[in-house]
Amino acid sequence: MKNLSLIFVLAISFSLMGCENIQGNQAGNQPVIENNIDGTETPEDAAPEYLTYDSFKEKVWDFEKNPQEWVYEGDIPCVIDFYADWCKPCKMVAPIMEDLAKKYDGKVKVYKIDTDKEKKLAGVFGVSSIPSVLFSPMKGRPVMQTGALQKADYIKIIEDELLDKKQ
């Protein structure tokens, strides 16, 4: 009985995570974009960048050249959203990633990787559940967060794990 209750609670939780009828995803409800963290105005074209296998190796980590050691190739910290178009929780995270790309323009790079198109990249990181978001500071190892989070949670991770560790 205890296992059945746990399964029921998990099923309800996942169905709520995947619900598309929340304020951020309804037509006409565009998320509010704040200024950059330094107070400057956000450029209109700031948006997540979509990565392929080759562009990932060039801009983030060349795991073929350095398979045993994480060597970050970027010049600012990054957030990488592993997603798929059919994934309902990924659709909830998408506008948040767009907001973060604008909010942290010039301070943190936001990338997206379509796990259906880039299966090899998803395999490198062992991504078996989406959305999965990788946070890579300038120094140190990246951290993977699985599941859809609230925007405030992503901001906290960026502020605490990426921007504080930038120096």
d(CA 90, CA 72): 25
Q: Radius of gyration over alpha carbons of the chain, in Å?
A: 17
| Domain span including residue 128 | 2-163
Label residue 10 exposed, middle or buried (CB < 10 Å: 0-12, 13-18, 19+): exposed
| Residue 19 falls in the annotated catalytic set | no
pLDDT at 13: 36
| pLDDT higher than 60, residue 116 | yes
In terms of pLDDT, which residue wins out, 93 or 32?
A: 93
Please count the other Cβ atoms lying within 10 Å of the Cβ belonging to residue 48.
19
Q: Work out the average pLDDT over 52-74.
A: 94
Read off the CATH number of the domain in which 112 is found: 3.40.30.10
d(CA 127, CA 152): 23
| pLDDT higher than 50, residue 1 | no
Question: Which string of DSSP letters, residue by residue, matches 146-164?
Answer: ES---HHHHHHHIIIIIIT
| pLDDT higher than 60, residue 22 | no
- Count of structural domains within the chain: 1
| Residue 87 falls in the annotated catalytic set | yes
Share of the chain above pLDDT 90, in %: 67
Q: Among residues 46, 51, 78, 90, which one is catalytic?
A: 90
Q: Work out the average pLDDT over 115-130.
A: 95
Q: Among residues 87, 92, 96, 162, which one is catalytic?
A: 87
Model pTM above 0.75: no
